[in-house]
Copies of this chain bind each other. A is one copy, B any other.
């Protein structure tokens, strides 16, 4: 007996047994689609009967030099007979014909594989019989011409154009715009012309034998496995070439058979909000493609509930069953043929970020999945949705209904943006400033020269370029919503306008772009910031907190940020940048006095003025974080950052001197001379502080070593703030962090200073001050000497921004302007190392340092602060390295909480697998 090559959808159990019981092997044998159709059938869902030709048959066919293996023809015939029995129809019988579709279906879905051929089984005779039986000449002839057209193009390899030309010709003659308005006479002629086209372009007649049609279609699917595009795709996606594809042959059902027929699509829960109710569209008396084509006004599933309540209830039952079976929200295609509901396909539905969160949480409430699974159903990137303004869903739907959707491009940088169109960067910059209106920069593509116009823009839209184009990279970098590669947009610079799908948008007119979906609309659409306190999100994040191993802290410099961070779930402040407190306009003059001081006494005077202000800053932070740790980094940036810019000062001096030449009265001369002297004194100091590479200059602990009164003031302020808030019953947990350490000999004097001031505290207050002492790890040398640093540091915080700059030798500001984007575009780098931690270099250093430090001080706390702390891929990386916490900006805390949970789950899974 020959091998079994064919399984009916109703014979899934036999197929399962044949491969030994594993579902994955079933999918290998029957393909994803075939296995699914079988599974739905077994579930009792009304799936049009059919059968699957196995992928093994495909391989056998290809191996034998494109020859059907023994027994295949017989088995197909036998299965056809069974379907005929089930449906009461007969393949090729004009009086009661069985029509079938034929589709490819490999284990993994794959572009480049053969598409669908519908209506197999029709020929002139069958058409005649059907016209009699169905009493709908137009439908039958239309189905026939569709078969010929699809068969010719998909199976016989004829080009599409001559068929389309013929249709256009007929429409023109008849004076109509839609194919559906052609008369039956027209269609009869078209069928004749199509047959002629087949003969002319394929070199043979359209096969009238239904069995030959089916055989040819199956062979076409088999051969398409080795098609050029499918082959290249498998190479790129790493799919084995010897899997083969299965073929699904399925009874045709028709939604266009009158008022009791319909076709539609629906999702089991709202794809927009996640609400648990059927949502979708259908068309009465129509075929599937009509729904997709959008040429007729569809009805909603709610209409179906009103018009065909029983069928709606049946659909809802099926949807529930399928959800439970596939354990996710389902996207279902259905057809109603003469009042009978058939399900053609189901798959996991696409959804918005908001819906993804609610669905994951609701599926747990419904007992369909558990919390752990729910955590993997939402990506950290989807949490980001809640951070960006979005279009109001109703307003956006309205815009769509109003036909204001201009085109859709690539969704490369999420968020919604509304603004007036500027077609060049200079204008974008100018308008953003002068008109005080948001601007959308619209360009064919962007270049480094355009960045000055991208930064002030609300959003960016380009007509060319892909996901790694300059525009995409820059926009993501700076968090600007962007749509790129919207190829339908034709920009006419001379006319100062662009044309898209026949519509013209002039420079200065409003458009709205959705970087989350890639949609481009004319006019303004209302936006709103999503509710970050969405109850489903809060619920999901609470589960994330149970699952994660990493602590999530926030970078916050002000009490308001700190409060916000706590609301968003931060367990502490991982980085308080004290310099931000120095930039306060009210304090800056005092800070400048300190810098301009030429001796210790006047420097100390200025610091004495700053001390109570810093104490107040810290006290407020402790109050906001009551009981949670607050890591305070001592002053880090180079001093020149607190002084005016060199260029500004030079210009000022020049201006003053020019005014001096035209000054007429002596008082004015005196004033000017005084001003000049003052400005020149400042200038001199700025010049003295000038550094060729400030990144690698006098900052961080180096400042503290050179001006020890500076850290002394800050540490005193911290300790005094502790005393202040403790009196109010607030629990302060300060952690003093030294920046830019590279040498134990730098850290030790800071530790000694802290000890000394802590001793002062005991003397004054009679009780010790509780604090931790630690260091940032920002220089490669710090990481390399972790063993030594851990001797006195109770915690490490990897400042991965600077550590990346130094380890890679890349100055971030310069590089993003220069070569970094080019590196990403050329694929020299896969990800921007300032977005995602460079595992091979920086990650290796971090890993070494953590191991070394823990060997010396097993209870040392290690974390990262800086932007990587909010990046999911980086969080996964550091979670694997055994870090204790990440610290990120307050808004990204929810993203980090989920990413940390997923990282922990992935590790557990890995551990379990071993």
Distance in Å: Cβ of A466 to nearest Cβ of chain B: 19
Task: Say yes or no for A321: interface residue by CB 8 A criterion.
Answer: no
A818 proximal to B (CB < 8 A): yes
Q: Are B694 and A822 neighbours in the complex by a CB distance under 8 Å?
A: no
For the complex, is A742 an interface residue (Cβ under 8 Å from B)? yes
A337 beta carbon closer than 8 Å to chain B: no
Task: Judge whether A785 is part of the interface by a CB distance below 8 angstroms.
Answer: yes
Tell whether, in the assembled complex, residue A784 and residue B809 are in contact, meaning their CB atoms are under 8 Å apart.
no
Task: Kindly list chain B residues whose C-beta atoms are within 8 Å of the C-beta of A394.
Answer: none
Interface hits, A811-848 → B, CB 8 Å: 811, 813-815, 818-819, 822-823, 826-829, 838, 840-842, 844-845
Q: Mark A794-810, 1 if CB is under 8 A from B, else 0.
A: 00000000100111111
B845 touches A780 (CB 8 A): yes
The distance in angstroms between the C-alpha atoms of A779 and B780, with both chains bound, is: 10
Complex alpha-carbon distance, A383 and B317, angstroms: 94
Distance between A885 CB and nearest chain B CB, rounded to angstroms:
24
Digit string of A192-222 for contact with B (CB within 8 Å is 1, else 0)? 0000000000000000000000000000000
CB closest residue in chain B, given A650: B650
Residues of B within 8 A of A695 (CB): 692-693, 695-696, 809, 811
B residues within 8 A CB of A694?
692-693, 811, 814
Is A702 at the interface (CB under 8 A from chain B)? yes
Q: Could you say which residues of chain B place their CB within 8 Å of the CB of A840? A: 781, 784-785, 788
> Closest residue of chain B to A828, judged by CB?
B745
Shortest Cβ distance from residue A838 to the other chain B in the assembled complex, whole angstroms: 7
Given A742-B841, A813-B692, A818-B698, also A780-B805 (CB < 8 A): no
User: Which of these, B706, B781, B814, B829, contacts A807 with CB under 8 Å?
Assistant: B781
Residues of chain B within 8 A (CB-CB) of A142 are: none
Find chain B residues with CB under 8 A from A827 CB.
745
Smallest CB-CB separation from A697: which chain B residue?
B814
* Nearest CB on B from A29, distance (A): 41
Q: Please indicate the chain B residues that have their CB under 8 angstroms from the CB of A810 in the complex.
A: 696, 742
Asked if B784 and A845 make an inter-chain contact with CB atoms under 8 angstroms apart, the answer reads yes
- Shortest CB–CB separation between residue A49 and chain B, in angstroms? 54
Chain B residues closer than 8 Å to A815, beta-carbon distance: 696-698
Contacts of A841 in B (CB 8 A): 742, 780-781, 784-785
Q: Is A384 located at the chain interface by the 8 A CB criterion?
A: no
Q: Write out the residue numbers on chain B whose beta carbons fall within 8 Å of the beta carbon of A813.
A: 692-693
Contact present for B814 and A698 (CB under 8 Å): yes
Interface membership of A531, Cβ < 8 A: no
Q: How many copies does the complex hold?
A: 2
Q: Interface readout for A34-68 with B: 1 if CB under 8 Å, 0 if not? A: 00000000000000000000000000000000000
CB <8 Å contact, A808 and B781: yes
Q: Is A660 an interface residue (CB 8 A)?
A: no
Let me know if A551 is at the binding interface, CB within 8 A: no
Shortest A332–chain B CB gap in Å is 45
Q: Is B811 touching A696 in the complex (CB atoms < 8 A)?
A: yes
- CB neighbours of A696 from chain B (8 A): 693, 695-696, 805-806, 809-811, 814-815
| Mask of A351-374 contacts with B, CB within 8 angstroms, 1/0 | 000000000000000000000000
Specify which of B809, B822, B826 is in contact with A806 (CB 8 Å cutoff): B809
A805–B814 Cα distance when bound, in Å, is: 18
Q: Report the minimum CB–CB distance from A840 to chain B (whole Å).
A: 5
Instruction: Answer yes or no: A82 CB below 8 A from chain B CBs.
Output: no
Question: CB-CB < 8 A to A809: which residues of B?
Answer: 695-696, 740, 742, 778-781, 802, 806
- Expressed in whole angstroms, the Cα–Cα distance for A702 and B828 within the complex equals 10
Say how far A653's CB is from chain B's closest CB, in angstroms: 12
For A788, what are the chain B residues with a Cβ–Cβ distance below 8 Å?
A: 840
A801 CB, nearest partner CB in chain B, Å: 12
- Residue pair A745, B781 in contact (C-beta under 8 Å): no
Tell me, yes or no, whether A691 is within 8 Å of chain B by CB.
yes
A62 to chain B, nearest CB (A): 36
Q: Which of A676-701 contact B (CB under 8 A)?
A: 691-698
Chain B residues lying within 8 Å of A691, measured Cβ to Cβ, are 811, 814, 818
Assess whether B805 is in contact with A779, with CB atoms less than 8 Å apart. Answer: no
Note all chain B residues with C-beta closer than 8 A to A468: none
Q: Does A426 contact B (CB under 8 A)?
A: no
**A819, B705: Cβ atoms closer than 8 Å:** yes
Q: How many residues of A contact B (CB 8 A)?
A: 49
Task: Quote the shortest CB–CB distance from A451 to chain B (angstroms).
Answer: 12
Contact of A822 among B705, B785, B802 (CB under 8 A): B705
| B780, B805, B819: the one within 8 Å of A702 (CB) | B819
Q: How far is the CB of A757 from chain B (nearest CB, A)?
A: 20
A743 at the interface (CB under 8 A from B): yes
Residue numbers in B under 8 Å from A749 (CB-CB): 828
- Contact check: which of B745, B746, B828, B844 meets A784 at CB < 8 Å? B844
**Residue numbers in B under 8 Å from A742 (CB-CB):** 808-810, 841
CB distance from A58 to the nearest CB of B (A): 38
Assess whether B784 is in contact with A807, with CB atoms less than 8 Å apart.
yes
Within the complex, what minimum Cβ distance (angstroms) separates A648 from chain B?
14
Interface centre among A808, A809, A814, A823 (most CB of B within 10 A): A809
Interface string of A874-909 (1 = CB under 8 A from B): 000000000000000000000000000000000000
CB distance from A791 to the nearest CB of B (A): 13
CB-based contact A746/B705 at 8 Å = no
Near B by CB (< 8 A), chain A positions 744-785 give 745-746, 749, 778-781, 784-785
A684 to chain B, nearest CB (A): 11
Contact, CB under 8 Å: A829 / B780: no
Closest chain B residue, CB of each to CB of A843: B784
Contact flags A703-715 to B (C-beta < 8 A → 1, else 0):
0011000000000
Residue contact B781 to A693, C-beta cutoff 8 Å? no
A697 contact set on B, CB distance < 8 A: 811, 814-815, 818
Bound together, the chains give a CA A807 to CA B842 distance in angstroms of 12
Chain B residues within 8 Å of A740, by CB: 809
Decide if A814 touches B781 in the complex (CB within 8 Å): no
Convert A640-659 into 0s and 1s, putting 1 for each residue whose CB lies closer than 8 angstroms to a CB of B.
00000000000000000000
Give chain B residues whose Cβ lies under 8 Å from the Cβ of A780.
780, 806-809, 841, 845
Inter-chain contacts of A784 with B (CB < 8 A): 807, 840-841, 844-845
**Separation of A827 and B743 alpha carbons in the complex (Å):** 12
Residue contact B779 to A828, C-beta cutoff 8 Å: no
Q: Report whether B693 and A829 are in contact in the complex, using a CB–CB cutoff of 8 Å.
A: no
Which B residues are CB-close (under 8 A) to A807? 779-781, 784, 806
Contact B692 A743 (CB under 8 A): no
The residue in chain B whose Cβ has the minimal distance to the Cβ of A817 is B691
Beta-carbon contact of B808 and A693 below 8 Å? no
Smallest CB separation, A12 vs chain B (Å): 48
A123 to chain B, nearest CB (A): 59
Residues of B within 8 A of A746 (CB): 828
Q: B828 contacts A705, CB within 8 Å?
A: yes
* Contacting residues, chain B, for A842 (C-beta < 8 A): 781
Interface residues of A in 509-557 (CB under 8 A from B): none
- Which has the most chain B C-beta neighbours within 10 Å: A697, A779, A780? A780
B838 touches A781 (CB 8 A): yes
Other contacts beyond A698-B819, A780-B806: 20, CB < 8 A: A691-B814, A691-B818, A692-B695, A692-B811, A692-B814, A693-B695, A693-B811, A694-B811, A696-B811, A696-B814, A705-B819, A742-B841, A743-B828, A745-B828, A745-B829, A778-B809, A779-B807, A780-B780, A781-B842, A784-B845
A–B Cβ pairs within 8 angstroms, 25 of them: A691-B811, A691-B814, A693-B695, A693-B811, A695-B695, A696-B806, A696-B809, A697-B811, A697-B815, A697-B818, A702-B819, A706-B822, A743-B829, A745-B828, A746-B828, A779-B807, A780-B808, A780-B841, A780-B845, A781-B840, A781-B841, A785-B844, A788-B840, A806-B807, A806-B809
Closest 10 CB pairs of A and B: A781-B841, A696-B811, A693-B811, A779-B809, A691-B814, A780-B780, A693-B695, A698-B818, A693-B693, A697-B814
